[in-house]
Amino acid sequence: MNDAENPTLAYEHHVLICTNLRPDGRRSCSGSGAHELLSAAKRKLAKMGEPGTSRANASGCLGRCDHGPVMVIYPANLWFSCKTPQQVERILDQHLLRPDQQF
């Protein structure tokens, strides 16, 4: 079996933050500060653990615009509505450093 048939996870944790901007002016994650939250997530992950085990990326629309900015952590499939960089950092601390703790 080759890697294409049996892919392995590239990262232990993959954090996606929606940065979608709706062109019609309706509420969107980008318009609600998502880029600042993505920067905070990247900084936090850089300070945590082994390099290359976790990654934060911008994503397109995750379909939860009314709750945005939205962050999802895979492979755990944890979804969050985040408003501040401090909230992002706290979530990453709680779920990546101590994944057995839920809040």
> Is 36:88 a contact under the CB 8 Å cutoff?
no
Looking at the chain, the whole-number percentage of residues with pLDDT higher than 70 is: 85
Whole-number Å distance between alpha carbons of 12 and 19: 22
Looking at the chain, the whole-number percentage of residues with pLDDT higher than 90 is: 64
Q: Is the pLDDT of residue 1 over 60?
A: no
DSSP string of 17-71? EE----TTS---SGGGTHHHHHHHHHHHHHHSSSTTSEEEEEES--S-GGG-SEE
Q: Is the pLDDT of residue 5 over 60?
A: no
- Paired strand residues for 74: 14
Q: Is the peptide bond before 7 cis (omega within 30 degrees of 0)?
A: no
Q: Is the pLDDT of residue 51 over 90?
A: no
Q: Is the pLDDT of residue 100 over 70?
A: no
Give the CA-trace dihedral at 16, 17, 18, 19, to 10 degrees.
-120
Whole-number Å distance between alpha carbons of 95 and 87: 12
pLDDT at residue number 102: 45
pTM to 2 decimal places = 0.83
